[in-house]
Amino acid sequence: MQKRKLTLKQKVELDAFDSHSEISCDRWFLGMLFIMSLIGMALLLVSCKTSFAYERIDLKAISLIESSGCIKKINVGEQAYGCHQIRAGALSDYNRYNKNDQHELKDMLNDGVSFKVADEYINHIIPIYLKNWRMPDTAEHRIIAYNWGIGSLKAWYFAGAKKDKLPTTTKDYLKKYKKYKSRITTE
C-alpha cells in the first residue's frame, strides 16, 4: 500500500482536529473528576451524619436523672460511678474508641471525666451502634440505650419497638429526660 502525501492545508486541519480532541479529552476528564468529587463528598456526608445531623443529648439533664447532679455518687449495686452513673460496659466502649484516653470507673468521680465519657458514649458511640444495626438515630433511642443498655435497645427495636414493652424504669427515664431538658432550656 502506498502512503499518500498530505497537502499543507490537510496537515493544518489534521493538527487542529488533534488539538481539539485533546481539549475535549481534558474537559471530559475534568468533568469526570468533578463528578467523582461530588459523589465522594455526598458519601462522606452520609457516613458522618451521626456526628452532626441529630440533636445532642443534654448531659445536664442526664446527670440530674442519674445522680441529682451529685459528682461523687456511687451506686454499689449497679457498679455505676459519678454524676452520669457510668458503668463498666459503657466505659469499656469508651476506652475501645479512645485508645489515647483510657479511664477506670473510679475516674468517673471526677466531673469533667464523667462528662467527657458520657458525652462520647451517648452522642458518638451509641450512634455508631445504631448505624451499624441500621436503626434510626433518635434522641429516644440514645436515651433508651444509655438507660437500659445498647443490647436491650437492639432486641426491643427488632421485636417491634412497642413502647409498652419498655421497662417501667426506662419509660420513667424518658419522661424525666423530657421534663429536665425543658427546664434546662427555659433557664
pLDDT digits (tens, 9 = 90+) for 31-87: 777 787 777 666 655 554 444 446 899 999 999 999 998 889 999 999 999 999 999
- Region 136-143 average pLDDT: 96
Domain total in the chain: 2
Higher pLDDT, 40 or 92: 92
Q: Is residue 48 part of a domain?
A: no
The C-alpha cell that represents 164 in the structure block: 409498652
Instruction: Name the most confidently modeled range: 1-15, 39-53, 153-167.
Output: 153-167
166 and 124 belong to one structural domain: yes
Q: Is residue 1 part of a domain?
A: no
Higher pLDDT, 15 or 157: 157
Residue 102 DSSP label: -
- pLDDT at position 50 is 40
- Region 149-158 average pLDDT: 97
- pLDDT at position 41 is 67
61 and 148 belong to one structural domain: yes
State how far the Cα of 7 lies from the Cα of 106, in Å rounded to an integer.
90
Residue 117 has pLDDT above 80, yes or no: yes
- Tell me the C-alpha to C-alpha distance, in Å, between residue 124 and each of 8, 56, 87, 130: 70, 9, 17, 10
pTM of the predicted model as reported, rounded to 2 decimal places: 0.70
Residue 71: give the domain boundaries: 55-186
Q: Is residue 109 part of a domain?
A: yes
84 and 127 belong to one structural domain: yes
- Region 113-121 average pLDDT: 96
Q: Where are the alpha helices (DSSP H) in 68-136?
A: 88-97, 111-120, 126-132
168-186 and 59-67 helices cross at what angle (nearest 10)? 130
